[in-house]
Every structure is written in structure tokens, then in C-alpha cells.
Structure 1
């Protein structure tokens, strides 16, 4: 019985940081903002897929192998990303709101840890594959477009991909900050 009392005393004396008054509310607000942004990104990605599929059929991409490969890789990488986002949205919706705060927090940490793995491993692969699909299209653009239009597409795509990489990085950083706060 003595060891139990000693363990209990040590437990009671441990250094526990105080719980912020609005800590849970702050996390729920950030959670809602991230959910809203995820929905917006899903809609943007979905619209991009629809446009690429429309473009695919408009230019009869199935008749030229390089065009078929480039657009297929671009559409495929976006489709995988949308499916991943949709899957994580479903997982998030299944989080047990009615459970204790500790259990809910544990589930949130597991959810954001899974998201971190997606961001660190799958997102870069999908982004690079999308860019490679676009790069496969560049010789066809050079061949079939005026030099001015080709230059415009080339330089604007470099700018767009750079901005997109920064935006993806910022979004990942936000989600990781929520994970960090949950672990505190």
C-alpha cells in the first residue's frame, strides 16, 4: 500500500501546466477554420479535375500518347488528392464528440498525425507528379502554340506552381500547429 501512496503523491506533485481558459474553444475554432479551408480546397481541386477532363475530351487527348500521359498524370494526381481529402473529412466527421475531452483529444492527435504523414509523404509526390504531367505537355504547347503564348504558359506556370507550393506549405504549417497545441 505504501508504494501506491508514493506513486499517488508523485502524481499529485507533478508539474502540470495550467489549462488555458479558452484553450478548448480556441482549438475548436481552428479546427473549424481548417475544415472550411479543406472543403474549399476540395472544391477547387474538383473543379480543376472537371476542367482537365473537359480539356482532355475537347482536344481529343486520347489520340496522342504524350498528351494522354501528361493529362492522365495531372488528373490522376488531383483525383488521388481529392480522394485523400474526402477520406480524411469522413474520418474527422466520425470523431467522437460525445466522449471525454481526453479521449477526444487523443483521437484528434491521431487524426492530425495521420494528416502529417499525408502532408510529408503523399502531398510532395502528388505535387511533383502533377508538375511532371504538365512538363510532358510543354513540348506539345511549344509545337502547337505561338512563341508568345508558349512563353506566357511557361512563365505563368512557374509562378503558379511556386505560389501553390507556398500555399500548400502554409496550410500544412497551420495543421501542424493545431497538432502541436493538441499535444501540449
Structure 2
């Protein structure tokens, strides 16, 4: 339980830091940007806000799990928590990936006329690299989380 809580804390912290950076960028650039850039940043920020809200909600659910319940009640609460996490992982996460990816593409299209070829290539590589890294890190954390939850279910059962 401690590991799940700690991992969720770090997930929220990292996503929130990314969200702050994008929001600052949106504030600074959005005033001068065109509709594509504003839409792109809004999509990226919106998808991260959704993700942070889902993680905070999940963290609250995890915090409300009571370890001192009878074994069968505790097992049922773990199963409900696991089911809600699977729903987040299978429904919401792909939607978030797609929205964020479309935002990155729109942003790259919007900034293309203002960048040199070399710097634009750098932005494409780092932008898409970050997106792929974002997907990889979240999938890795989900895999670890599923293993922990299955272990808790086995211990409880």
C-alpha cells in the first residue's frame, strides 16, 4: 500500500510540474500565438489536467482503503480499487495519449514557420520523443501497479 501511495504521489508531482511548465508557456506564448498554437497548448494542458484529476481521485480512493477491515471486506475494497484503476488505464489513458499527441502535432505545425529547419527538426524529435517517453513511463508504472495489486489480492485471499 505504501508503494502504491508513493508511486501515485510521484506521478501526480511529475505531471503537475509538466502542467505548470505548459501553463506558463501557454500564458507567455498564447497571447501572441495563433489559433493552432493556442488549441495545441490547450489540448496538451487539458489532457494533463484530466490525468492529474484522475490520479488525485484514485489516490483519494487508495487513501480511503482501510487496512483494519475484515479480510473479505478489505479484499472487496482492493478489487473495487483495482477495477477503477483498470478502467482508467484502458479507457481514459488512451484518450489522454491521443489528445496530447494531437496537441504536440498541432503545436509543431503552428511553430514551423518561425523556426529554422535544424531547430524545427530538434523540436520534432524531442516533442515526439517526449510523447513516446510519456507513454512508456505511464505503461511501465501501470504494469508495476497491476503486479502490486495482484499481490495484495493474493495476500488477502
TM-score past 0.5 threshold: yes
Q: 1:63 to 1:151 in 2, by over 3 A?
A: closer
Q: Which protein has the larger Cα radius of gyration, Structure 1 or Structure 2?
A: 1
Whose relative contact order is higher, 1 or 2, with alpha carbons under 8 Å and at least 6 apart?
A: 2
4+ residue stretches of structure 1 with deviation over 6 A? none
Determine which of 109, 112, 116 is the counterpart of 1:139: 109
Number of aligned pairs? 154
| SS of residue paired to 2:147 | helix
Contact 2:26 2:41 in 1 (8 A): yes
Indicate the residue corresponding to 1:13 in structure 2. Answer: none
Indicate the residue corresponding to 1:80 in structure 2. Answer: 50
| 2:40 counterpart of 1:70 | yes
Q: 1:34 to 1:183 in 2, by over 3 A?
A: closer
CA distance in 1 between counterparts of 2:95 and 2:116 reads 32
Q: Give TM-score scaled by structure 1 length.
A: 0.77
1:42, CA displacement in angstroms? 0.5
For residues 70-106 of structure 1, the C-alpha deviation after alignment (integer angstroms, 9 at most, x for no partner) is 1111000000110011111111111122211221121
Deviates more, 1:58-67 or 1:150-159: 58-67
Contact 1:109 1:182 in 2 (8 A): no
5+ residue gaps, structure 1, are 1-30
Determine which of 36, 41, 44 is the counterpart of 2:6: 36
1:41, CA displacement in angstroms? 1.2
| SS of residue paired to 1:59 | helix
5+ residue gaps, structure 2, are none
1:62, CA displacement in angstroms? 6.9
Contact 1:119 1:172 in 2 (8 A): yes
Indicate the residue corresponding to 1:153 in structure 2. Answer: 123
Deviates more, 1:89-98 or 1:108-117: 89-98
Indicate the residue corresponding to 1:162 in structure 2. Answer: 132
| 2:45 counterpart of 1:57 | no
Q: 1:140 to 1:63 in 2, by over 3 A?
A: closer
